[in-house]
Amino acid sequence: MSAPEPVQAFSSGLTTPDFMASLSMGLRPLGLVQGYYFAQVSSWSAYSGYPVRNYPCACYEVGMHQTGWLGRVDDLDRLWTGAHATALGRMLDEAAALGAAGVVGVTTDMSHPTNENSCEVHVYGTAVAVPGARPGGRPWSTQLAGQKLAKLVEIGFVPTSVAYARCTAMLVEGCNMEYYGSGRSGTGNVVQPLQDAHELARAGAIEAARALAAGASLYGVTMWLDEAERYGGSYLTCSLRGSLVRRARSVAPAAPPVATVNLGP
């Protein structure tokens, strides 16, 4: 009787249910892979923004002058998206070295470890092999794992890459600009410049994400907004993260639901 083949050791960041679901899909975990990027951002100020709209000072009844403005800080956004792309690329390099077809359960940590001028991105996930996949290609990546990934494949989609987009809106306040408007809106009312800043940040992040998709679909999207006061103004950053997926095959339409319980009167 021959001895059983030794089990190859591996590491994984998956939970037990996600790990079992990956095995049921035919994915073979190879190891935990990661990518890291750190940089110190050069000092920047309100002059780093690109104005898109001006606001008058509400103190003046006649002859209002432009004292406040709203703009985008594109340089800062390019820095962070570039940092994410670098960290993601380093993770995929590790996965490729293991012979992986893809990386599942990707997690991204982004922070300012020392001060507001520092930029740190850490991306990690579990590299997996797919039986029958051609070796040598660039591994795909996805935030999904387990049942969510299984259902995605079941309906005919496959993951391509993790996506990250953001937009920073800077609001430089002038003389009593918080009372902007003919109604001299006070506390508790909508402040138009601040509302415009929120809308600009969100719209810019969505626009950037659509540009990344380039015909693919963005699945499992999360959005969050960060606000800070700096250099005499306010800046709001809307960040968006998700998994790019593409249609791989058509599937039969789902059967119409069959009522089993009547909850009516």
127 pLDDT tier (thresholds 50, 70, 90): very high
- Exposure string over 230-251, b if 16+ CB within 10 A, otherwise e: eeebbbbbbbbbbbbbeeeeee
Q: Is the pLDDT of residue 17 over 70?
A: yes
Q: What is the pLDDT of residues 141-160, one digit of tens each?
A: 999 988 888 888 888 898 99
Q: What is the pLDDT of residues 248-261, one digit of tens each?
A: 877 666 667 777 77
Closest CA to 145 of 127, 122, 131, 164: 127
Higher pLDDT, 80 or 177: 80
> What are the residue ranges spanned by the domains of the chain?
16-247
Q: Tell me which architecture the domain covering 16-247 has in CATH.
A: 2-Layer Sandwich (3.30)
Residue 103 contacts residue 139 (beta carbons within 8 Å): yes
Q: Structure pTM?
A: 0.80
